[in-house]
Amino acid sequence: MLTDLHKHLLNDFQRDFPLSPTPYRDIADTLGVTETDVLAALAELNEQQFISRIGAVIPPNQIGASMLVAMAVPENELQRVADQISAFPEVNHNYEREHRFNVWFVAVAATVQQLQAVIERIEQQTGYAALRLPLVDDFFIDLGFKLDLQHA
Amino acid sequence: MLEARDLAVLAQVSAGLPLCPRPYAQIGMELGMDEAEVISRVTALKAQGLIKRLGVIVKHRPLGYRANAMVVWDVPDELIKELGMYISHFSFVNLCYQRPRQPEWPYNLYCMIHGKDRATVLAQLEQLNEACSLARYGRQILFSRRCFKQRGAVYQAMPMAVVANG
């Protein structure tokens, strides 16, 4: 069950987190609670897996190289192939999607050459061809996501 | 060019701020910097656009947003920037990218839509179609099924010396 404090923390501080020495106290002052209340509520949200972290979102391809890759894998091979892909430390997202191209993953490496080598190794190990979909342009201005928490 | 100290700060703040009264001082202690240097480097990285957003990063699925669709279109190259920027303004859109068309995948505009259920996502997609006149373009909707793996990106992209510190 989420309290009002939880809901405010989830929705009101997704961006422009205070860059003062005491950001949690600043948030507490804004919400009219104590710093201890804020730290405790954030720890609860963390424990309950409602937040992944309080941190920075980095735009793709500014540091290192990344690539979205798709594969079309038969259902009876899906788990094996997905496990092989996930085992690569360079892979950070790996999803099943409803399509003939049903495996979608993102690989990152320090350089484009290293990235290409990783994707070739994944193709060899899994035995399936990779559809390479590098980023050309990013149109998204990330302002966070307004959650409807009325019934949460 | 980013300094090694910027990369080290970036690795720490993308992994997450500690939950303690002086989180920037805590990060500084691990990196051998004082609190003021950490704050000024984070401030500069934000201004340069190397930090897109700093704050609470929520998990959509546990908070009731169970449906997620990646939608791809084949739109004319000369319109893609305008369309992409417009699509990005809708509150239910989470990502919006251009990627190259491939012979067996002739789509160049990608967006991600989160919703509480599949019907909501499809209704939101319809809203986008109307507002951006997208119905005339070839399209695919790919709902996500299983998540095999998900975690932050930045550590793997860091030079090894920085990873060792982070």
Domain residue ranges of chain A, discontinuous segments joined by +: 4-47, 65-134
Amino acid identity of residue B104, one-letter, is E
For B88-130, the DSSP string reads HTSTTEEEEEE---BTTB---EEEEEEESSHHHHHHHHHHHHH
Smallest Cα–Cα separation from B24: which of A82, A56, A10, A126? A56
User: What distances in angstroms separate CA A10 from CA A4, A54, A145, A147, B57, one per listed residue?
Assistant: 10, 10, 9, 8, 8
- ipTM reported for the complex, 2 dp: 0.85
Distance from the B134 Cα atom to the nearest Cα atom in chain A, whole angstroms: 17
Please tell me the predicted confidence (pLDDT) of residue B164.
29
Q: Among partner residues A52, A53, A92, which is closest to B153 by beta-carbon distance?
A: A92
**A68 and A135 in contact (C-beta within 8 Å)?**
yes
Q: Among partner residues B20, B43, B140, which is closest to A99 by beta-carbon distance?
A: B140
> Which chain B residues are Cβ-neighbours of A100 within 8 angstroms?
none
**CA B99: distance to chain centroid?**
15
Q: Give the pLDDT confidence of B25-73 residue by residue, as tens digits.
A: 999 999 999 999 999 999 999 999 999 999 999 988 889 898 999 999 9
Distance from the A58 Cα atom to the nearest Cα atom in chain B, whole angstroms: 5
Q: How far apart are CA A117 and CA A120, in angstroms?
A: 5
Q: What is the CA radius of gyration of chain A?
A: 20
Smallest Cα–Cα separation from A62: which of B114, B136, B1, B117? B1
Chain B, nearest residue to A138 by Cα: B97
Q: How does the average pLDDT of chain A come out, rounded?
A: 94
Residue B154 scores a pLDDT above 60 = no
User: What CATH number was assigned to the domain covering residues A65-134?
Assistant: 3.30.70.3460
Q: Give the pLDDT confidence of B107-123 residue by residue, as tens digits.
A: 999 999 999 999 999 99
Give me the total of CB pairs closer than 8 Å, taking one residue from chain A and one from chain B.
Answer: 250
> Which chain B residues are Cβ-neighbours of A56 within 8 angstroms?
10, 13-14, 42, 45, 51-54
Interfacial A residues in 99-138 facing B (CB < 8 Å): 99, 101-102, 104-106, 108-110, 131-138
Name the region of A84 (left: φ>0; alpha: ψ -120 to 50; beta: rest): alpha
Please tell me the predicted confidence (pLDDT) of residue A60.
79
- Give the single-character DSSP code of B51: S
Q: Give the pLDDT confidence of A27-80 residue by residue, as tens digits.
A: 999 999 999 999 999 999 999 999 989 999 888 777 788 899 999 999 999 999
b/e map of A71-96 (b: 16 or more CB within 10 Å)?
bebeeeebeebbeebbebebbbbbbb
Question: Residue A65, SS3?
Answer: strand
> Which chain A residues are Cβ-neighbours of B87 within 8 angstroms?
139
Q: Among partner residues A13, A85, A97, which is closest to B145 by beta-carbon distance?
A: A97
Q: Among partner residues B81, B96, B140, which is closest to A140 by beta-carbon distance?
A: B96
Chain A, nearest residue to B140 by Cα: A99
> Are B88 and A140 a contacting pair at CB < 8 A?
yes
Please tell me the predicted confidence (pLDDT) of residue B158.
47
pLDDT band, very low/low/confident/very high, at A146 (cuts 50, 70, 90): confident
Q: What are the structural domains, with CATH classification, of chain B?
A: 4-56 (1.10.10), 61-143 (3.30.70.3460)
Tokens representing residue B74 in the block:
């084949």
Distance from the A40 Cα atom to the nearest Cα atom in chain B, whole angstroms: 9
Residue of A15, A140, A143, A151 to mutate for B, most B C-beta atoms under 10 A = A140
**A104 and A69 in contact (C-beta within 8 Å)?**
yes
> Are A56 and B149 a contacting pair at CB < 8 A?
no
Please tell me the predicted confidence (pLDDT) of residue A150.
82
> Which chain A residues are Cβ-neighbours of B124 within 8 angstroms?
none
